Structure 1
């Protein structure tokens, strides 16, 4: 009987770990932000969204980078006009449902600036196309904002 309980407990623990690690690694939710130096990777590993610095600079940016090219190749930057001065950055979905980059003092350095009617159901997903999409709704059917439609933040540092 002791072995049966032990096996049941072990199976339950393995199931918990599976659920924990099987969550989408390409998505930010209101409860899952990324902190410098963390990142998320598109489903097939083509692009990553996260924190980076340029060579010979201590400034930190949040951007979309090619993940499968050995040379750092940045394609889009959120906070190019307001870089972080240290590694205290956070990329998260704010209480109003916007995707925001903030520093350690909780100052917003960049925002998607959208009107969101369901902020608790908002997700941000990096796609294999390189597009970062902010979706609204339980099914993610309504796109609120896309990096492809925000070309002013295309890489021009």
Structure 2
């Protein structure tokens, strides 16, 4: 009857995890990501070797080959960062984890160091998708691929 005490959902701001050119998810060289089968978001063509947390939360997944990690925010938004295409086959070559699964992180905290010079000729693409994997639970409030500096690229809110 009275919703005045109901907790209002908090907007989740998602930042680029790596310096570089922002691109549409549809432009990623992999049908799983470009077809949004993993979720919705954006991708980055990297200009840097440090991959950072795209949001405040906990590292909920850190793949054993260190090519991908997941962040879960306090309200349950699940964000996957997948560095490059077919990078799982590198079995960790070129990837150095800087944090561990279960670590609490803030947006911008370094998670991985990637030697793109080493891996770029071994994989089809170094596009780095950033997707909300549980997007069915969220509405996208903003997705802006023209931002720069410390501005968020994407904002979502729980439905």
TM-score normalised according to structure 1 size: 0.28
Judging by fraction of residues, say which structure has more strand.
2
TM-score normalised according to structure 2 size: 0.28
Higher relative contact order (CA 8 A, sep 6+): 2
